[in-house]
Amino acid sequence: HTHTHTHKHKHAHTQTHTRSNEEALADFARAIELDPHNASSYNSRGLVYDKLGSLEKACEDFSRALAIEPDNAVYCHNRGYCYRNLGEFAKAITDYSKAIEANPWNAAAFNNRGFAHRKLGKYDKAVSDYARSLELEPNNTKTLNNRAYSHAKLSHFEAAIQDYSRVLAVDPANSHAFHNRGISYDKIGKYQDAVADFTSAIALDATNANLLFNRGSALDSLGQFDAAISDYTRALELDTLVSSTGGKDHVRSP
């Protein structure tokens, strides 16, 4: 059943929410007891377990649903996503492939299989899955970002630049896309373009030390040493600030 939350307090809201999930589990357990061959009940309960973060239990329920309906694209996709979240990418790929076989028009299945390939370092396979996903959903910025990242990993920097440009055409305030396009420009020696992109990213994300380091490096390559030193100095100040306030370490972007 559905619950409408009218509680003002977050705590009460959370309790109600958790209870409704527990109630849902009880409902599905009853439904399964009454009709143990209803695949849909296992799938629905699996989704509740997934929401609660009980991934192993979720996977078990999706497997039970698939034992009853082996060719169901939705159940395959759900279990694939579950395996993906457990870090079992090879198993995820098998399930996504079955889901795609059953429904070749599902952009999400291609995108998710691409992600699993990417995690296994199979960037060429990732690129072709993302390409198919983009045929179905041309302006999906998440997929474009993912394909650009995979292109860059294969040193296809021109292709990465094209994808990041498509992201920015749809989402002009995407600092991540500016940053990564800048890195790709830097890799092919287009330092002026790199500086422009890093500058755009800095305007959107002023306290990111990575951006300043990367712009400093591009300015360095252009022989603009004073400007480079100024960026490096600011980046180090930010890094010191972050570590002294217990923030996360900076990781250089891909």
CA 171 from centroid of its chain's CA atoms: 16
State residue 43's pLDDT score.
Answer: 87
Query: Between residues 253 and 168, which one has the greater pLDDT?
Result: 168
**Average pLDDT over every residue of 201-227:** 97
State residue 248's pLDDT score.
Answer: 46
**Average pLDDT over every residue of 40-68:** 89
Q: What is the pLDDT of residues 11-25, one digit of tens each?
A: 333 343 455 777 777
- Terminal-residue alpha carbon distance, the chain: 45
Q: What is the pLDDT of residues 182-203, one digit of tens each?
A: 999 999 999 999 999 999 999 9
State residue 12's pLDDT score.
Answer: 35
How many helices and strands in the chain, by DSSP H and E? 13, 0
**Average pLDDT over every residue of 75-100:** 96
State residue 23's pLDDT score.
Answer: 75
State residue 250's pLDDT score.
Answer: 45
State residue 15's pLDDT score.
Answer: 40
What domains can be seen in the chain, in order of their start residue? 17-70 (1.25.40.10), 155-249 (1.25.40.10)
Q: Which two tokens stand for residue 140?
A: 């999906």
Name which of 107, 190, 173, 178 is nearest 148 in CA terms. 178
CA pair distance 217, 179, nearest whole angstrom: 13
